Amino acid sequence: MPVTRRDTLQLGLVGLAGLGATTLVPYQARAAGEADSYKTDSGAIGVMPLSHASFVMTTPSLTIYNDPVGGKELYDGQPAADLILITHEHGDHYDADTLAAITGPDTKLVVNPAVMAMLSDELKAKATAIGNGETTTVGEIGIEAVPAYNTTEERLKYHPKGRDNGYVLTIDGKRVYIAGDTEDIPEMRALKDIYVAFVPMNLPYTMDTDQAASAVSEFKPVYAYPYHYKGSDPQAFAAKVSDGTEVVMGPWYAEG
């Protein structure tokens, strides 16, 4: 049975020793102001949800920002970005001013080709563009661009096939899937060995909770975050995900 972030936190507080060999063992429940933590081969992946589709991920070798928007202040207090990932050019995923403010002298960017064309010359010099099916490496992190697109007729205008990216990252022996803006597509269902997944669910731009739960139940990540879900019910998603995946809730939106 999937659990919510509140359930997982309670289990973490009472101790995991009595649970035996369950998928909860690698997860370390978040204390206030701290990242969720997931064990890797030699360290941990930390996940700090910030807002909507933006989050900070720490790894044993790099700090990664995903789709950073919202202004520099949102990232104050976070470790500096070694790598910034951008899935596509929509304003809730790509903001030129935020990007310029948080990109340091040694920060690398990995973006889709459409965003590459929009970058300033200064940021282009730091960026690598990859399209669906292409790969690159930044430090010790392997990065594969995977498809992210709409399939429902009336939604095709939002994310046409072939333009936007999701990403599969290989981090210290673990695979992390960042879906970007997509519906329940065959390429998602075909994913294997995903440790942590970030899956969107808001209409009309991506998919509904039924589609998201069905896809996640097919590729069975160990942990799944509903994100990019403004206007949708992530608890409804959690209730429909099959056994084998723990659903983790994050503070993506301000209370109320």
Q: Is residue 27 part of a domain?
A: no
Burial level of 122, CB count in 10 A (0-12/13-18/19+)?
A: exposed
Q: Is residue 151 part of a domain?
A: yes
- Which pLDDT does position 91 carry in this prediction? 85
- Which pLDDT does position 186 carry in this prediction? 97
Q: Is residue 22 part of a domain?
A: no
- Which pLDDT does position 35 carry in this prediction? 86
Q: Is residue 254 part of a domain?
A: no
Number of domains in the chain: 1
- Domain extent, residue 113, equals 5-14+36-247
Q: Do residues 162 and 147 touch, judged by C-beta distance below 8 A?
A: yes
For residue 87, give the CATH number of its domain.
Answer: 3.60.15.10
Which of these, 40, 85, 52, 63, lies nearest to 178 by C-alpha position?
A: 85
- Which pLDDT does position 158 carry in this prediction? 86
The two structure tokens encoding residue 165? 């990216």
Q: Is residue 31 part of a domain?
A: no
- Which pLDDT does position 21 carry in this prediction? 30
Q: Is residue 252 part of a domain?
A: no
- Which pLDDT does position 7 carry in this prediction? 42
> What tens-digit pLDDT sequence spans the chain (256 residues)?
344 443 443 333 223 333 233 233 345 555 556 789 999 999 999 999 999 999 999 999 999 999 999 999 999 999 999 999 999 989 889 999 999 999 999 999 999 999 999 999 999 999 999 999 999 999 999 999 999 999 988 898 889 999 999 999 999 999 999 999 999 999 999 999 999 999 999 999 999 999 999 999 999 999 999 999 999 999 999 999 999 999 999 999 976 4
**Predicted TM-score of the model (pTM):** 0.88
Q: Do residues 240 and 213 touch, judged by C-beta distance below 8 A?
A: yes
**What does each C-alpha distance from 175 to 18, 38, 74, 186, 214 come to in angstroms?**
27, 12, 27, 18, 20
SS3 108: strand
Q: Do residues 66 and 92 touch, judged by C-beta distance below 8 A?
A: no
Q: Is residue 148 part of a domain?
A: yes
- Indicate if the alpha-carbon torsion angle 78, 197, 21, 62 is positive or negative: negative
Q: Is residue 95 part of a domain?
A: yes
Count of Cβ atoms closer than 10 Å to residue 244 Cβ: 12
